[in-house]
Amino acid sequence: MIRGAIGDTGIAYRVDGPHDGPALVFSNSLGTDHRLWDQQMDAVTARFRVVRYEGCGHGVSDLPRGAVTIERLAHDLTTLLDHLEIERAVVCGCSLGGVIALWLAVNRPDRLTGAVLANTGAKIGTNESWDARIAAVRAGGTAAVRDQVVGRFLTPEFRSRDPETTAMIAEMIEATSDEGYIAACEALRATDLRADASKVHVPVLIVGSDRDQSTPPDLSRELHASIEGSELAMIADAAHLSNVEQAALFNAALLRFLVAF
């Protein structure tokens, strides 16, 4: 990972694939780092210039300075693209990353060639659910929510058959700074893009999964109904991290979408 000064924040990022390839950016779920996308790399790096990065307070990026909003997180990403001299990219985001990609599709379509909105929604959770998560982290740190979050991220069957990956996801969550985690929760709590989704006109792939408790499949269907011309891929037997749990199915849907770019 390279840790560069992006705006007023040190953002960690990694670039793989051909320098002259079309740009593809992966944006992470709450409480994870760039390794979330490890199982996508072999599928895309032969053709795409692939950027993975860690938002403020996550991974080895700096803690946030001041209030964190989805707009601020999206601005961090466009500033990173400027730093890398990337004019436009496909942004593939999971959960929090998907909200960032949706915000860009609504407000900065000039920076996108397309968007992949994976296991996300225009409005995620309720004020009450975010308040409870924030209170738990304030009281006991990210370690206090680790097991609950892993239980929502991955099905019991996957956790049983792949304890190594499960342990890696758990380690990511616990390694996330309390301040960075809380700031991202507050940003998600404050965000509601349901009235804006119909304004999106860039190519969009929406990925949902049938056992996702964090962003239930109805959220994916609602996005699909709101975004004219969008594609919808529903993945069976996966919880919130469909790209990890059903990587082959996720990659197949992603590659079908990326053929156009």
Which domain CATH number covers 67? 3.40.50.1820
Average pLDDT for 196-213 = 97
Per-residue pLDDT tens digits for 144-164: 999 999 999 999 999 999 999
Task: State the pLDDT at residue 7.
Answer: 64
With a pLDDT cut of 70, the percent of the chain lying above it is 97
Task: Give the Cβ contact number of residue 101 at 10 Å.
Answer: 29
Residue 92 has φ and ψ, to the nearest 5°, of -110, 115
Residue 165 has pLDDT above 70, yes or no: yes
Residue 29 has pLDDT above 80, yes or no: yes
Q: What is the count of structural domains for the chain?
A: 1
What's the CA angle centered on 131, arms 208 and 155, to 5 degrees?
Answer: 35
Q: Which range of residues forms the domain containing residue 182?
A: 2-258
Task: State the pLDDT at residue 67.
Answer: 85
With a pLDDT cut of 90, the percent of the chain lying above it is 92
| Whole-Å CA distances, 10 to 167, 170, 198 | 27, 24, 34
Mean residue pLDDT across the chain:
96
Q: How far apart are CA 239 and CA 154, in angstroms?
A: 5
Residue 63 has pLDDT above 90, yes or no: no
Query: Which positions ≥6 away from 152 have C-beta within 8 Å?
Result: 213, 214, 239, 240
Task: State the pLDDT at residue 68.
Answer: 92
Q: How far apart are CA 34 and CA 245, in angstroms?
A: 16
Task: State the pLDDT at residue 3.
Answer: 59
Residue 9 has pLDDT above 80, yes or no: no
Give the containing element (helix H, strand E) for 49.
Answer: strand 49-54
Q: How far apart are CA 256 and CA 235, in angstroms?
A: 14
